[in-house]
Amino acid sequence: MDIFGGRFAGEEASRWSRLIFLIVTALILSVLITPHQQLISTTYKAGDIAGASVRANQDYLLEDTHLTDRKRKEAEVTAPLVYAFNPTAAAVLRQRLGLILELVRQARVSPDLEMKRSLRKKVSEVSGFEVDAGDLESLARLHNDQLTGEITRLTNQVYERLIVGNNERFANDLLHGVIVTEGPPGGEVPPQNYQQFLGVDEARQQVEQADLPDGGDRHDLAVLKGFLGRMMKPNLLLNREGSEKKRIEARDSVKPVMFQVKRGEIIVREGERIREDQAQKLAMIYQSRSGIGRLFMVLGVFGLTLIMLIFPYRFACKNIRKFNPSSKDLLLLTYITLGLFLGLRLSLVVTSAIGGMFPYIHVTDYYYLFPFALGAMLVRILINSEVALVYTSVCALLAGILFENSLVIVIYALMTGIVMAGRTGASFAAVLGTMTVNSEVDALETMNFPPMEFLVAPRILAMILMMPLLVLYADLFGILGGYVVAVGLLDLTPALYLTQTREAMTFSDVLVGLLKAPAFGAVVALAGTYFGMKTGRTASAVGVSTTRAVVSGILLVIVVDAILTVFFYAVKL
Amino acid sequence: MAENPSDADFVTVEAMTMAYGAFVVQENVSFSIRRGSVFVVMGDSGSGKSTLMRHMIGLDRPSKGDVRYAGTPYWSSTEAEQRRLRRRFGVLFQGAGLLSSMTLAENISLPLVQHLKVPRGEAREVAVTKLELVGLGGFEDSYPSQVSGGMRNRAGLARALAIDPDILFLDEPSAGLDPLSARHLDDLILELRSSLGTTFVVVTHELPSIFAIADDAIFLDGERHRMVAHGPPREIAATTTDPKVKAFLERGQYP
């Protein structure tokens, strides 16, 4: 501290030092208070209860991966199925039948017994079904040379149509969309032919009922037709590989669906169960926040911090009589401010870390445990209440930035700061202490004015009555200040600002503030008056009791606030 | 004024022991005060003169003993009785003890308005009269911080006189006053005693004052923690064998 203090020696040096100091302070502050939303709500998943409302603080263009996925699935489903047309099906069938007939003929003419015996097995292999001996005999009786032309005609006729394995399924697939490719290398077959398809069973019937004029007797010909029918295969088969390829093509052709999040739009409302898409939006916003955007944010906050430090200081110097902090005082203010915000930042980290452990306590409720008024109190004690008032109003706004632009926090910090900085707890102790030292309290007592009734009770009553008014005042000016900034600087419409404010600040927020205020007032006044009345008989005793009053006032407010928070939570206010 | 038997022991301090915690200030102090007399409590610094006064006017409770006013014990009485007794006291504290947030006139009229329900205008008139009595006419609208220490003392005396008390307790009334003002205050005390018949208990170590006003006196010794002399100051000075008292009354000239 002495090293820095020495810099303030000369008048000119002091000016420069102040400037450098201001910039350094603002820079450190802006790094400290630039919000990391990740710290607060990384762990939001679908189904979680939101601990605090989250609103977009800038415009975002985000990919809706959920919707994109759905569209892609739809595209996949509607992608056409690929069928392969086999133009050689008739030829293959004829070839197989020819092979069977040749086997039968060879067996008949051959003297080899072994061949005759294995005939049935060989024929079964080729035909793909069990043949019986009678059928083989029938085949053997046929006059092949007469039949060949007939069979060619018959098979060609049947295979002119598209023959599919499953009639109904293909009909369905047709409705869905079908592409037919020809053969292994082939191209597409024009679509008009698709309609004339035939189930393989129907094709068999056609073959079996077909008219074969000569070449054998009726029975033998029927056996032949039976063979033909049973050996028939569809000439149109589903090409699984091709279909899959088409599906992937369709999927890739779908463009990602983007959606826009406007600045100020509420993404999640406090207390709501987070939906899938909301969780996704949050996750994406957090992602997009990192990196270069953050640097600009720090710069922006830096500028804002500079403005908030310089202008109130200048204004106060000109207009407030007792506001003339020396360079050393400014140095002190800097230390207090940096210490305070470092502490708040750490508390925020700790809070977000433990926040998840108690899902039924809102993360924001922990904020009320933070010693916002600490800085104001220190300044009040070490410098004076005028400086403390200006200081606390600046700090409250900065704290609001730190806590994700929370109006409630600004009001809270301002309120507690003003109470602590103002002529209340500490001044009660100081006034009563001085009165004790000057025998004024004794004089009152001997004149039959009990100090409890005459000095203590009115002060406590005054605090209890006035604190809610102070809260209302702070509420009102918080909203008004927000209005000026939102409408004047940020180009929001008045109506939008007001509706959003009404959404963000529920009636119970205000009510809780108003109900807590008298309790805070009472404990601060109690601490102040108690230590004031207990002052010893020397001037230094006044200082001691003032300090005691302030310290116990802080502790009591924290304790009472914790109790009330739990209480109001229990009664669901 | 007719002598009646109870006048001799109008105020009686009975075997009073004063202590703060384990520290005994004075032990077994007993004396009585005649109605309409000026009674002086002498003693060296820290001997417990002011403490004795605080015990007598009800600010500190004695660890043993009691004080009677016209036969009524103070400390063994009820709260209401104590209030009634306190109403007969006028007290001038060291440094006057005026309420710094009120003007001199407001300070003086406060008990009149609050306790005796005197209308404000009338109370102000009384206050002005009392201030004139102590030589502070024209200062009624000044705040205590705006007048000198001696004037504050006199204003404190005016406030003590406001409710026409039977007994006036004065704690170091001439402390910090120049000899002329101190002399003036002594004259005022004597005048009030003869005109109003008020009884005075004065804590002081100013020798000129003591010899000028005291009808009776005691001497408290801070080292031995007890009362070492009792009687009119001149008598004590003439007869005492205690070297400390003798030295005190002879301005520190030890034999």
Q: For A69-81, give the DSSP string.
A: HHHHHHHHHHSPE
**Whole-number pLDDT of residue B255:** 45
Residue B41's pLDDT band, with cuts at 50, 70 and 90, is very high
Is residue B152 a contact partner of residue B158, using CB atoms and an 8 Å limit? no
Query: How far is B90 from chain A, CA to nearest CA, in Å?
Result: 8
CA-to-CA distance for B160 and B174, rounded, in angstroms?
15
Per the listing, tokens 């009595």 go with: B133
**Whole-number pLDDT of residue A193:** 60
**Cα–Cα distances in Å, from A213 out to A146, A151, B16?**
10, 11, 154
Grouping H, G, I as helix, E, B as strand and the rest as coil, residue A217 is coil
CA A329 to centroid of chain Cα atoms: 45
Among A148, A12, A34, which Cα is nearest to A402's? Answer: A34
Look at A446 and B110 and tell me if their CB atoms are within 8 Å. no
Per the listing, tokens 């102090």 go with: B29
**DSSP tag of A258:** E
Q: What count of other Cβ atoms lies within 10 Å of the Cβ of residue A138?
A: 21
Residue A7 gets the label, from left (phi > 0), alpha (psi -120 to 50) or beta, of alpha
Burial of A78 (0-12, 13-18, 19+ CB in 10 A): exposed
CA-to-CA distance for A415 and A419, rounded, in angstroms?
6
Contacts of B168 in chain A (CB under 8 A): none
Phi, psi of B145 (to 5 degrees): -70, -10
Among A33, A56, A27, which Cα is nearest to A409's? Answer: A33
Among A457, A489, A503, A315, which Cα is nearest to A393's? Answer: A315
Phi, psi of A49 (to 5 degrees): -95, 130
Angle at A132 between CA A126 and CA A138, to 5 degrees: 90
- Give the CB-side neighbour count of residue A520, counting CA atoms within 13 A: 29
Which of A435, A439, A448 faces B94 most closely, judged by CB atoms? Answer: A439
Query: How far is A449 from chain B, CA to nearest CA, in Å?
Result: 8
Contacts of B59 in chain A (CB under 8 A): 442, 445-446
User: Six-digit token pair at B160?
Assistant: 């003590």
Contacts of A440 in chain B (CB under 8 A): 97-100
- What was the ipTM of the complex prediction? 0.86
B84 in contact with chain A, both atoms CB, cutoff 8 A: no
Can you give the C-alpha Rg of chain A in angstroms? 46
Asked if pLDDT for residue B19 goes beyond 70, the answer is yes
Q: Which of B57, B83, B99, B110 to mutate to test the interface with A (most CBs of A within 10 A)?
A: B99
User: Six-digit token pair at A18?
Assistant: 């102040």
Each of the 573 residues of chain A gets a pLDDT tens digit; together they read 344 444 445 566 677 877 887 888 888 888 887 766 544 444 566 667 766 666 666 677 777 777 888 888 888 888 888 888 777 888 888 888 888 888 887 877 777 777 777 777 887 887 777 777 777 777 777 777 777 777 788 777 777 777 887 777 877 777 777 777 765 544 555 555 666 777 778 878 877 777 777 667 777 778 877 877 888 888 777 888 888 888 888 888 888 877 777 766 777 776 677 777 777 777 777 666 655 566 777 888 888 888 888 888 888 888 877 777 777 788 888 888 888 888 888 887 777 777 666 666 666 667 766 777 778 777 877 777 778 888 888 888 888 777 766 677 777 777 766 666 555 667 788 888 888 888 888 888 888 888 888 888 888 888 888 888 888 887 888 788 888 888 887 778 888 888 888 777 777 777 888 888 888 888 888 888 888 888 887 878 888 888 888 788 877 887 888 888 888 877 766
Per the listing, tokens 């904020």 go with: A367
CA-to-CA distance for B64 and B29, rounded, in angstroms?
10
Is residue B130 a contact partner of residue B79, using CB atoms and an 8 Å limit? no
CA-to-CA distance for A466 and A383, rounded, in angstroms?
25
**Whole-number pLDDT of residue A195:** 65
Most confident of A505-519, B1-15, B148-162: B148-162
CA A354 to centroid of chain Cα atoms: 20
Grouping H, G, I as helix, E, B as strand and the rest as coil, residue B215 is coil
Asked if pLDDT for residue B13 goes beyond 50, the answer is yes
Look at A446 and B59 and tell me if their CB atoms are within 8 Å. yes
Q: Is the pTM of this model over 0.80?
A: no
**DSSP tag of A212:** -
**Whole-number pLDDT of residue A463:** 83
Q: Which strand (E) or helix (H) includes residue B169? A: strand B167-171
Contacts of B156 in chain A (CB under 8 A): 443
Query: Which residue of chain A has the CA closest to B168?
Result: A446
Strands A60-63 and A258-261: antiparallel
Is residue A478 a contact partner of residue A407, using CB atoms and an 8 Å limit? yes
Q: What count of other Cβ atoms lies within 10 Å of the Cβ of residue A513?
A: 21
Long-range contacts of B80-83 (CB under 8 A, 24+ apart): B82/B58, B83/A448
Per the listing, tokens 């987070």 go with: A274
Q: What sign results for the dihedral spanned by CA atoms A283, A288, A290, A295?
A: negative
**Whole-number pLDDT of residue A7:** 45
**Whole-number pLDDT of residue B218:** 92
Residues 130-169 in B contacting A (C-alpha not used; CB under 8 Å): 156, 159
Is residue A62 a contact partner of residue A285, using CB atoms and an 8 Å limit? yes
User: Six-digit token pair at A459?
Assistant: 């002060």
Look at A440 and B98 and tell me if their CB atoms are within 8 Å. yes
Query: Which residue of chain A has the CA closest to B98?
Result: A440
